[in-house]
A and B are shown apart, each in its own frame.
Chain A
Amino acid sequence: MKTGTLIVTLLASGLLAWGVTDVREARAVERAEAEETARLLAKLMRAGRLVIDQNQTMIDDPHKGDKGFTPDVFEQQLIVEFRKETAIDLRTLAATPSSILIPPLAKELLPAFVLASKEVVREAQVVINQRGIGYKNFIPATYGSQAARRFTGQSHVRLKQTTLKPRNPKNEPDDYEASVLKWLSGRPNAQAYVSELTDKGRTLRVVMPIYYVKDCLKCHGEPKGEQDISGYPKEGAREGDLAGAITVTVPLNVGNR
């Protein structure tokens, strides 16, 4: 081999190796960012559910008409709950420099989920503010279903609430979700989450567990099988049991172009 050819070959190999490394690195970075974004989205949805839960008694108060639970009030409480959970302040998110903890994708999607949630609260005002009507079925699960649907419709990221025995058939877990839920249900309540690449590495899926808190047990607790206020049989759950999970599916771009 001539010296010139050797140099060219070495140079090309070097460039290729550098390129491959670059793509691998980019993939790894994208996955890490997507994973963190998915976790933050799941936590935001969980915070939204918690806000509804905290206001449940007021929402179901038949003696009160206008509850004052406006989209803005919801947003303020959501921001507080989310900050407690993540130490991220959504009000200053735009001005916060991007990092692996607050990826650019999260900066784009978290406000979008807040908007979707506010839309749900706005649309539910006519139901929430009925005076003389007690239970209105505006509960964490029905809020979550609608917020997830609206958010998914407006972004390329899919949010879903799921559980092993869902009351809403649309929340039925797929095989993967079912296996994760079974695995999680045998483990103690933790901040664990499960993440995997699917669709030949083109999609990242994060499954984040939700656990029952005391307020959930009015409808999901004991005695098992007894009809709750919404007409579904109670699950007989106890505080801290696995309630289900939030699945976030994020399409990945690098390496697929």
Chain B
Amino acid sequence: MNRRDSGVGGVNAAPRWALLCVALAWLSLQGCGLVYDALQYVAPAATDELDAICRLQRVHVGMAVEPFRPFVFPAIWTDEGSRITGLDVELVRHIVDALSQQCGRPVTPVLHLVRFRDLFLQLSEGKLDLFVSAVPSNVPAPAWAGFAYSIPYFQHGGLAGITRRPDVSDRIRQRLQPPSEGVPGAQAGAQVLDGLAVAVQDGTASQHYAAANLKSSRIVRCDSLPAAFESAEAVVDQGIDVILGARPVLEYMVTRVKKEWQLITQADGKPFFLTSAQYAVVMSEGSYRLRWFVNGVIFRLDESGQLERMRARWMDESYAFPRRAAAEGLPFDVEKMVVHYSQGACRADRAR
């Protein structure tokens, strides 16, 4: 009762309180502006992605959790904890060093190890500043559109195939022979794989190539390259005839890890490429300053001969990656790695 009385009694006071509130709000707004200006002076708000990286002193880098040796090796444990290494990791180190120099303070890379096919998604969702994992810059696929690609850091990419069956190898080589009497004529690119079971990795250039060009092959989609090997080695007769993938990765695998497999070559022994590609760093389309910056880093590495040294170091030298991981690998954010990475499996492409 008393309360209501006092409320009724307060009716006259309401306009005064309202005025006071408006005045206070007005004063606060002025104050806010001043505070904002002061903050801007001390720590300017980020105006673009490069400023944001400098301000946070962190760059979010995506990498494929599936190994793309020698660009990205499997995550490994070292004396320093979990580490990842490879040519792409070395490139990230160079970019991060340059960022630290640009920002005038140390910038830390936060590595997100995710499935290759999810890298594009995470970049578009703004979870990454950039990603790098032997990504060709010239794949005409809708899923790869709407992103920005740096200038190339690796020139000799492209799709190639491997097989462990001599009959398949001979068959393809025969199809690739120049036309002459009594010999089947040379077939253009993809047609040499007609009638064969071809394994590709989901979401990669090989899958997009197969979808667009391998109309008469039986396509087997695999979650990773190791899954393709496992599947091919488990079933010999009706399994996988050819694994299609990035040539430098396949070359590394057949010369160092899976020596029972061979690269498919032409009749004269020259390598058989299905496509040509250059590998680039992937960023958001609107990241103009970051792109200029990354392009600049790659350009300087190329100009100084460092890129070529990196290529030779990872492609040609004899080494064991655990040792390099311990010495120069980068830590990764365990929380940002897919839980219990599994190489996955292979299945027939039912969409065809």
Interfacial residues, chain A to chain B (CB-CB below 8 A): 62, 65-66, 123-133, 135-139, 141-143, 145-146, 168, 170, 227, 229-232
B322, A127: Cβ atoms closer than 8 Å: no
Q: By the criterion CB–CB under 8 Å, are B322 and A124 in contact?
A: no
Q: Any chain A CB within 8 A of the CB of B341?
A: yes
Question: Contact between A141 and B79 (Cβ–Cβ < 8 Å)?
Answer: yes
CA distance A138 to B77 in the complex (A): 5
Residues of B within 8 A of A127 (CB): 75-77, 82
Interface size on B, residues (CB 8 A): 30
- The closest CB in chain A to the CB of B74 belongs to A133
What residue of chain A has the Cβ atom nearest to residue B225's Cβ?
A: A132
Among A132, A138, A230, the one with the most B-chain Cβ atoms within 10 Å of its Cβ is A132
Is the pair B343, A132 in contact by a Cβ cutoff of 8 Å? yes
- CB atoms of A130 and B323 under 8 A apart: no
- In the complex, which residues of chain B have a beta carbon less than 8 angstroms from the beta carbon of A136? 74, 76-77
Contact for A124 among B67, B82, B224, CB less than 8 A: B82
Please list the 6 inter-chain residue pairs (A to B) with the smallest Cβ-Cβ separation, ordered nearest first.
Answer: A231-B320, A132-B343, A231-B323, A132-B226, A145-B79, A138-B77
Q: Which residue of A lies closest to B321 (CB)?
A: A231
CB atoms of B319 and A231 under 8 A apart = yes
Known: A132-B224, A168-B326. A126 touches B340 (CB 8 A): yes
**Chain A contacts of B226 at CB under 8 A?**
62, 132-133
The answer to whether A126 and B341 touch across the interface, beta carbons within 8 angstroms, is: yes
Instruction: Give CA–CA (A142, B329) in the complex, Å.
Output: 15
- What CA separation (Å) do A154 and B78 show in the bound complex? 20
- Does B79 lie within 8 Å of A123, measured CB to CB? no
Q: Is the CB of B340 within 8 A of A66?
A: yes
Q: Is B81 an interface residue (CB 8 A)?
A: yes
Residue in contact with A142 in the complex, picked from B79, B320, B324, B340, CB distance below 8 Å: B79
Closest-by-CB residue of A relative to B65 is: A130
CB A1 to nearest CB in B, in angstroms, measures 69
Beyond A126-B334, A130-B340, A131-B343, 12 extra complex contacts between A and B, CB < 8 Å: A65-B342, A125-B340, A126-B337, A127-B75, A133-B75, A136-B76, A137-B325, A142-B77, A168-B79, A231-B319, A231-B324, A232-B320
A130 and B82 form a contact (CB under 8 A): no
Q: Is the CB of A132 within 8 A of B230?
A: yes
Contacts of A65 in B (CB 8 A): 340, 342
Q: Which residues in A have their C-beta under 8 angstroms from that of B219? A: none
Judged by a CB distance under 8 angstroms, whether B227 is at the interface is yes
B230 touches A123 (CB 8 A): no
Q: How far does the alpha carbon of A132 sit from the alpha carbon of B224 in the complex, in Å? A: 9
Q: In whole angstroms, what is the CA distance A146 to B67 when docked?
A: 25
Residues of B contacting A146 in the complex (Cβ-Cβ under 8 angstroms):
79-81
